[in-house]
Amino acid sequence: MDTALAIRARGIAKYFGDVVALDGVDLDVTQGQIHGLVGPNGAGKTTLLGLLLGLSVADRGTLEILGAPVGRALAVPEGVAGFVDGPGLYPSLTARQNLAALAALGGQDARGAGIDDALEQVGLTDVADDRARGFSLGMRQRLGLAAALLTRPRLLVLDEPSNGLDPAGKRHVHGVLSRLAADGTGVVLSSHRMDDLEALCSEVTILATGRVVFSGPPAKLTAENRELDYRLRTSDPEAARRIAAGTAGIRAVDDTGPVRQDTEVIVVRALGPALDELVVRIVQSGIALRELAPVVSPLEAAFLALTEQQTAPQEGGR
């Protein structure tokens, strides 16, 4: 049995005068999936998010959200929540008052809207009675997420929700999104944070100059035959370098970054199988391998490879 689609877009195009912001975009997001949306500045991400939230309409193509066709009106089906360019808040009201006001606008009784639960989920219980004007960027992002939770969304659309988050705030946001997806909510997450996407998303779509250049599981993206640079920290770096030099498919990298000052670290460039062979040889030689990590995350490396050749002749697509 196929999983129901939260979003089905086909051939979506959006123009701003002579600027093509979106050019034939296809997108499928299933219920219960966290789907990442990434791309360089000007790729069309914000424009696409606006379409999904009913803030604008497509000039061409078809869009279905939660099984309902979206026409040429500024509207989306009930059950869609989220924000673009940061949540809209009342700075003179407290966090709790902001949520109560939003609940009232939605026709909800504030007492039964689950305000305290929403604040707890995003980790803002301790500042529930503080005015929003004093909130940091990360706290405003979390309050915007709490506001979205009040609607009990079946589709949640978020633009850079990790902006300004400290580690505790990030943990709260990740937990909320994971629980929503586990309960069947579709989530679209736009972010420049590759670590967030790798941790949360079962699929990603990469946009460049208004077009989709990849859509699918991150594992498919990063499993392609592409060499990556890896940082190895060992108990005997000189011996590790000699072993690396004698391992087929391994190339030493003259790294100019901060790790160059760390005498326990070597940097090599390799495909996955060659790296596996190097690790086996190092361990068999009795050398302790204390750290092994890509210098740039596999997802980020693939993203750069897919988008670096794309040029944007016009800067209007957001």
Over the stretch 191-217, which tens digit does the pLDDT of each residue have? Answer: 888 888 888 999 999 999 999 999 999
Whether the CB-CB separation of 57 and 72 falls below 8 Å is answered with: yes
* Nearest CA-CA partner of 207 in 18, 71, 50, 25: 25
**Check whether domain 228-295 has CATH 3.30.70, yes or no:** yes
User: In this predicted structure, what is the pLDDT of residue 316?
Assistant: 46
Output the pLDDT for position 311: 45
Whether the model clears a pTM of 0.85, i.e. scores above it, the answer is no
Contact present, 235 and 288 (Cβ < 8 Å): yes
Closest CA to 146 of 167, 125, 168: 125
Which pLDDT band, with edges at 50, 70 and 90, does 300 fall under?
confident
Q: Do domains 5-216 and 228-295 have the same CATH topology?
A: no
pLDDT above 80 (res 293): yes
State how far the Cα of 126 lies from the Cα of 128, in Å rounded to an integer.
6
Q: Is 145 or 88 the better-scoring residue by pLDDT?
A: 145
Q: How far is CA 139 from the centre of its chain?
A: 18
CA 180 to chain CA centroid, nearest Å = 15
For the chain, the average pLDDT equals: 87
CA torsion sign for 204, 26, 187, 318 is positive
**Model pLDDT for residues 256-271, shown as the tens digit of each residue:** 454 445 678 999 999 8
* Domains in the chain: boundaries: 5-216, 228-295
Q: Return the structure tokens found at 237.
A: 């770096």
Q: What CA dihedral angle connects 106, 180, 134 and 103, to 10 degrees? A: 10
Q: Which residues of 252-262 are buried (b: 16+ CB within 10 A; e: fewer)?
A: eeebeeebeee
107-116, 275-284, 290-299 — most confident range: 275-284
* pLDDT value, residue 102: 87
**Considering only CA atoms, which of 80, 71, 67 is closest in space to residue 187?**
80
Give CB contacts under 8 A, 24+ apart, made by 262-265: 262/233, 263/237, 264/233, 264/234, 264/235, 264/237, 264/290, 265/231, 265/232, 265/233, 265/237, 265/291
CATH number of 5-216: 3.40.50.300
Task: Provide the pLDDT for residue 262.
Answer: 63
pLDDT-derived band at 177, boundaries 50, 70, 90: very high
The mean pLDDT of 125-139, rounded to a whole number, is 94
